[in-house]
């Protein structure tokens, strides 16, 4: 920009004086914008109060949100280490642990010792009597595993020799581990070490100040150690609960009851190809396949069936809707049927189907047909007959009349006029809108499934309500996203072929 083209202050004022309406917007216009802005702001404040959003957000359990999110792509293994008053320990796992019924992971190192203890009416002199609550844990399945029992009938006392752990080392990752020995719990994380004394009963005492990653609400109560993404632990007087988190989906193919559980892929492959039959009644391949399908944790067959139901609901519902809406839209279009009563009747009928929402239809048909895809199909069919009928009749009303007149002028029958004068103009629009609704119904079929109308929605909703199956939620969401993406691409490809390159 050169200086010569820049108007001087005087010239600019002169221009402004000549065209005041260009430089000053009218006061009503300004006021209107400001009023709309203030109105929206007031509405937001009102809604903040109406839904008490601040209160709810403040009371929300945000700590658990991270855990739930982490559950989508990872799982926890939870050994419980019971500590007796004499400092001996026993490790047990929950029954449904992802490591199976007999776990011996390499990140838990136990140093074992054989002790002789006597259980009987009088207190045994050899060893201090374990506390009742922890002695229960000594009997846990895996403690009994290596234990050899020799009963000695001596003074009506039962003396047994047991193998107990005296030192345990749990390694989370390179910089995080917990070591338990002699009534001391030593936790190391990120270069800091916290030593805690546990008395085998109900008190925990930290030695020295607590680091940032450890919390204790009251002295003596349990200490929670959070190691971020790698897991956490709880230290109580007689128990250390380990929560070690691993990335990935546990037992995605074979559950812990399967004979293929815990085997490497190569091993499974060689078993299937050339191994001896595990179940003499059938081949290893069919056994493996049925083990995958009926995996108790992931329920692959059920999930896939439900997903197929969702797809079928969208497909059949949309197809029927467009088949019924197609003839009706000719009745609703002003220019095709010049009968005002028929027009209005058809249009109000479409409005009715559309305004009684898909959700209400879904609830009704679930009552009528029972839960399942039939209800979903009917709900989509009813709603979309209304929506498609409206869109189709609008497309018909916007056609070019010249073609129709041309066909009519050579003496064609009314049917032929529609076939050759009208249909070629609207067919691409009609097909493209049917395809678009097919695609968008695949998405809505998920949500009406949650109220019982069949498909994956209900399964998804139930998995979420348990609050512990987030990895199953992630799996189903991934499947849904894949299906939606595939149908999106198919429908987009079909539509752009139908409409030329114009369709978005």
The size of the chain, in residues, is 504
- Rounded Cα distance between 234 and 6, Å, is 75
Residue 374: CB minimum distance to other proteins, A: 4
Minimum CB distance to other proteins smaller for 249 or for 392: 392
Which listed residue (83, 235, 358, 435) binds other proteins by CB under 8 A?
358
Residue in this structure with the two tokens 């752009």, named with its chain if needed: 496
Ranges of beta strands (E only) in 30-189 are 74-77, 79-83, 89-93, 108-119, 158-173, 176-181, 184-189
Minimum CB distance to other proteins smaller for 63 or for 248: 63
Q: Does position 386 bind other proteins by CB under 8 A? A: no
Q: Does position 379 bind other proteins by CB under 8 A? A: no
- Rounded Cα distance between 337 and 494, Å, is 31
- Rounded Cα distance between 205 and 220, Å, is 6
Which listed residue (25, 47, 193, 215) binds other proteins by CB under 8 A?
47
Q: Does position 14 bind other proteins by CB under 8 A? A: no
Binding to other proteins in span 84-113, by CB under 8 A: none
Minimum CB distance to other proteins smaller for 260 or for 392: 392
**Contact window for other proteins (CB under 8 A) among 149-157, 200-208, 286-294, 356-364:** 356-364
> Among positive and negative, which fits the CA dihedral 54, 59, 61, 62?
positive
> Which tokens belong to 85?
């008053």
CB neighbour class for 400 (10 Å; exposed up to 12, middle 13-18, buried from 19): exposed
Residue 316: CB minimum distance to other proteins, A: 5
As a whole number of Å, the end-to-end CA separation of the chain is 41
Minimum CB distance to other proteins smaller for 210 or for 312: 312
DSSP states of 163-231:
EEEEEEEEEEETTEEEEEETTEEEEEETTEEEEEEE-SSS-EEEES---TTEEESSTBS-EEEE-GGGE
Which listed residue (25, 43, 73, 184) binds other proteins by CB under 8 A?
43
**Contact window for other proteins (CB under 8 A) among 115-123, 237-245, 329-337, 352-360:** 352-360
- Rounded Cα distance between 205 and 153, Å, is 41
- Rounded Cα distance between 162 and 183, Å, is 19
- Rounded Cα distance between 131 and 168, Å, is 20
Binding to other proteins in span 108-147, by CB under 8 A: none
Binding to other proteins in span 396-435, by CB under 8 A: 432-433
Residue 335: CB minimum distance to other proteins, A: 15
Q: Does position 33 bind other proteins by CB under 8 A? A: no
Quickly count: other Cβ atoms within 10 Å of residue 233's Cβ. Answer: 24
Contact between 204 and 220 under an 8 Å Cβ cutoff? The reply is: yes
Q: Does position 343 bind other proteins by CB under 8 A? A: no
* Residue 304 CA, distance from chain mean position: 15
Which listed residue (363, 412, 423, 498) binds other proteins by CB under 8 A?
363
Q: Does position 332 bind other proteins by CB under 8 A? A: no
**Contact window for other proteins (CB under 8 A) among 90-98, 112-120, 363-371, 402-410:** 363-371
Residue 284: CB minimum distance to other proteins, A: 30
> Which tokens belong to 69?
């999110």
- Rounded Cα distance between 198 and 89, Å, is 12
Residue 483: CB minimum distance to other proteins, A: 11
Binding to other proteins in span 51-80, by CB under 8 A: 51, 53, 56-57, 59-62, 64-65, 68
**Contact window for other proteins (CB under 8 A) among 38-46, 131-139, 167-175, 212-220:** 38-46
Minimum CB distance to other proteins smaller for 118 or for 309: 309
Task: Look at residue 449 and give its three-state secondary structure.
Answer: helix
- Rounded Cα distance between 487 and 97, Å, is 38
Task: Look at residue 440 and give its three-state secondary structure.
Answer: helix
Residue 96: CB minimum distance to other proteins, A: 20
Minimum CB distance to other proteins smaller for 79 or for 372: 372
Binding track, positions 301-330, relative to other proteins; x by CB under 8 A: ----x--xx--xx-xx--x-----------
Give the up-direction half-sphere exposure of residue 432: CA atoms within 13 A in the CB hemisphere.
18
Q: Does position 25 bind other proteins by CB under 8 A? A: no
Binding to other proteins in span 428-487, by CB under 8 A: 432-433, 436, 440, 443, 446-448, 450-451, 454, 457, 460-461, 464-465, 467, 473, 477, 480-481, 484-485
The site for other proteins, by CB under 8 A, has a size of 71
Q: Does position 353 bind other proteins by CB under 8 A? A: no
- Rounded Cα distance between 163 and 111, Å, is 10
Residue 456: CB minimum distance to other proteins, A: 9
Q: Does position 356 bind other proteins by CB under 8 A? A: yes
Which listed residue (180, 332, 374, 430) binds other proteins by CB under 8 A?
374
Q: Does position 375 bind other proteins by CB under 8 A? A: yes
Q: Spell out the residues 6+ positions from residue 8 whose beta carbon is closer than 8 angstroms to its own.
A: none
Integer angstrom CA distances of residue 175 from 45, 171, 188, 230, 242: 48, 9, 7, 10, 16
């Amino acid at each position: 920009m050169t200086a010569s083209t820049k108007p001087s202050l005087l010239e600019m004022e002169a221009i402004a004086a000549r065209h005041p309406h260009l430089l000053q917007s009218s006061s009503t216009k300004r006021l209107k914008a400001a009023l709309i802005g203030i109105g929206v702001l007031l509405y937001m404040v009102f809604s903040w109060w109406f839904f008490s959003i601040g209160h709810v957000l403040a009371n929300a359990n945000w700590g658990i949100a991270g855990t739930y999110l982490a559950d989508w792509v990872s799982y926890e293994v939870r050994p419980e280490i019971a500590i007796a008053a004499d400092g001996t320990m026993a490790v047990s796992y929950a029954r449904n642990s992802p490591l199976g019924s007999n776990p011996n992971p390499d990140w838990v190192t136990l140093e074992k010792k054989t002790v002789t203890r006597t259980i009987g009416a009088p207190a045994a002199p050899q060893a201090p009597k374990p506390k009742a609550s922890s002695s229960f844990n000594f009997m846990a399945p895996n403690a009994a595993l290596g234990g050899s029992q020799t009963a000695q009938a001596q003074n009506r006392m039962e003396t047994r020799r047991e193998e107990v752990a005296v030192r345990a080392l749990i390694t989370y990752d390179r910089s995080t581990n917990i070591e338990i020995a002699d009534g001391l719990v030593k936790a190391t994380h990120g270069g800091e070490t916290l030593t805690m004394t546990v008395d085998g009963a109900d008190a925990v005492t930290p030695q020295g100040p607590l680091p940032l990653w450890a919390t204790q609400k009251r002295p003596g109560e349990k200490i929670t150690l959070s190691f971020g993404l790698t897991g956490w632990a709880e230290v109580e007087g007689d128990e250390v609960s380990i929560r070690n988190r691993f990335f990935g989906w546990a037992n995605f193919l074979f559950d812990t009851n399967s004979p293929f559980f815990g085997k490497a892929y190569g091993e499974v492959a060689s078993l299937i190809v050339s191994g001896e039959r595990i179940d003499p009644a059938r081949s290893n391949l069919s056994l493996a396949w049925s083990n995958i399908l009926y995996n108790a944790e992931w329920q692959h067959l059920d999930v896939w069936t439900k997903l197929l139901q969702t797809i079928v609901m969208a497909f059949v519902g949309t197809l029927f809707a467009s088949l019924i809406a197609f003839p009706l839209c000719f009745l609703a279009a002003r220019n095709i049927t010049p009968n005002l009563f028929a027009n209005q009747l058809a249009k109000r009928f479409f409005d009715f189907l559309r305004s009684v929402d898909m959700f209400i239809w879904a609830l009704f048909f679930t009552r009528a047909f029972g839960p399942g895809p039939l209800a979903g199909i009917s709900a989509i069919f009813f709603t979309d007959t209304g929506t498609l009928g409206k869109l189709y009749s609008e497309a018909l009303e916007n056609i070019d009349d010249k073609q129709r007149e041309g066909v009519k002028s050579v003496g064609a029958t009314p049917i032929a006029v529609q076939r050759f004068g009208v249909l070629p103009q609207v067919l691409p629009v009609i097909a493209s809108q049917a395809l678009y609704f097919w695609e968008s119904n695949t998405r809505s079929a998920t949500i009406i499934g949650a109220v019982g109308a069949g498909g994956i929605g209900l399964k998804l909703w139930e998995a979420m309500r348990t609050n512990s199956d987030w990895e199953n939620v992630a799996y189903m969401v991934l499947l849904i996203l894949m299906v939606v993406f595939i149908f999106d691409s198919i429908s987009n490809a079909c539509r752009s072929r139908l409409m030329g390159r114009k369709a978005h």
